[in-house]
Amino acid sequence: MSQTTAVSFHPPAAAIKLPEAATWPLADVLALFELPFNDLMFKAQTVHRAHFPAGDVELATLLSIKTGGCEEDCGYCPQAARYDTGVEAKKILDIDTVIDAAKQAKANGATRFCMGAAWRSPKERDMDKVEEMVREVKALGMETCATLGMLEEGQADRLKNAGLDFYNHNLDTAPEFYNNVISTREYQDRLDTLGRVRSAGLKVCCGGIVGMGESRLQRAGLIAQLANLNPYPESVPVNHLVQVEGTPLHGLDPLDPFEFVRTIAVARITMPQARVRLSAGRRQMGEAVQAMCFLAGANSIFYGDKLLTTDNPEAEDDRALLNKLGLVTRAATLDSAPKAACGG
């Protein structure tokens, strides 16, 4: 707990003044990627400590509220109906199942609960159900997040009114690589949804996936897109591709783990006040690479045995890892910190 008392806390989310102009030319982002590894890590850790308590890690639990059968063609995704991945299409979960899962997540120490649906976009008949889920999870005192695909006019407002804190919608990759991965929606569609999310007053959770066969320049391109959003996202999930048999991206050569760590570090430096989440792919990563990611400025993980359809590390193993590294969960920092001083 000493890590949490020895450092000053970053300001509450409402008071954060995020940069207003595009401040990260692609060349500058690429130059960060090309630094000697130790220089990059030092820079990232320095930026990290200026904005966050050193050892604080947010635990976010994911629940798939509607699994499989998706009409989109995202090349990485086991939930796309057109790929034979063994994921069965299910109906939307009932509200009690969702509340029970959220209660369990809270009891296990998670502070954020993220509900994911395998939709291109939510249908009107789904919205009432999701709004009720959001209201009930919010009433438990958790931060709420949803990822439901593209939103139309008014849908983001409805979610905000129900008590949603964050909307997750990823850019996934650089614009130049995007068409290698997805054809059923455009990059601009994603930016439009992010605009609606912002206009509704929701906080933005937006990141991408690395390890899909993109180049370093394209990884830099993804980070530049995110960092130049105005303002940049409050949460940035950096996913390592989980290769699932049956998807087009299965069987790619694995990414050099140092490139993944570098991506986290560059996200931290370019988006200093964002929660950078070390997201999918931790199970395949090993403890040493995860530890490097925390050193590079990751301060959030998905916590719980499952992501949406693939396995995440066991919660018990995560607790052991955090303990070994002397990291402190955000639930613990919230308990030990003056309430008004904690945001993000």
Instruction: Summarize as ranges the residues that interact with ligand SAM (CB under 6 A).
Output: 76-77, 116, 118-119, 147, 149, 169-170, 172, 209, 239, 241-242, 244, 280, 308
- Residue 106 CB, shortest distance to ligand SF4, in Å, is 26
Which positions touch ligand DTB (CB under 6 A)? 62, 78, 116, 147, 168, 170, 207, 237, 239, 242, 279-280, 307-310
Burial degree of 239 (CB within 10 A; 0-12, 13-18, 19+): buried
Which of ligand SAM, ligand DTB, ligand SF4, none has residue 169 at its interface (CB below 5 to 8 Å by kind)? Answer: ligand SAM
167 and 130 in contact (C-beta within 8 Å)?
Answer: no
- Residue 136 CB, shortest distance to ligand DTB, in Å, is 19
Tokens standing for residue 206: 């937006």
Q: Which residue is catalytic, options 196, 262, 277, 330?
A: 277
Which of ligand SAM, ligand DTB, ligand SF4, none has residue 80 at its interface (CB below 5 to 8 Å by kind)? Answer: ligand SF4
Number of Cβ atoms within 10 Å of the Cβ of 92: 18
157 and 200 in contact (C-beta within 8 Å)?
Answer: yes
Does 75 sit near ligand SF4 (CB under 6 A)? no
204 and 235 in contact (C-beta within 8 Å)?
Answer: yes
211: Cα within 13 Å, side-chain hemisphere: 29
Does 319 sit near ligand SF4 (CB under 6 A)? no
State the DSSP H helix or E strand holding residue 287, giving kind and residue range, or none if neither: helix 287-295
Q: Locate tokens 């692609």: which residue?
A: 26
Beta-bridge partners for 63 = 115
Which of ligand SAM, ligand SF4, ligand DTB, none has residue 309 at its interface (CB below 5 to 8 Å by kind)? Answer: ligand DTB
- Residue 186 CB, shortest distance to ligand SF4, in Å, is 13
Does 70 sit near ligand SF4 (CB under 6 A)? yes
CB-based contacts of 110, cutoff 8 Å, min separation 6: 59, 60, 61, 142, 303, 304, 331
114 is catalytic: yes
The residues assigned a catalytic role are 70, 74, 77, 114, 145, 205, 277
Q: Where along the sequence are the contacts to ligand SF4 (CB under 6 A)?
A: 70, 72, 74, 77, 79-80, 118, 120, 149
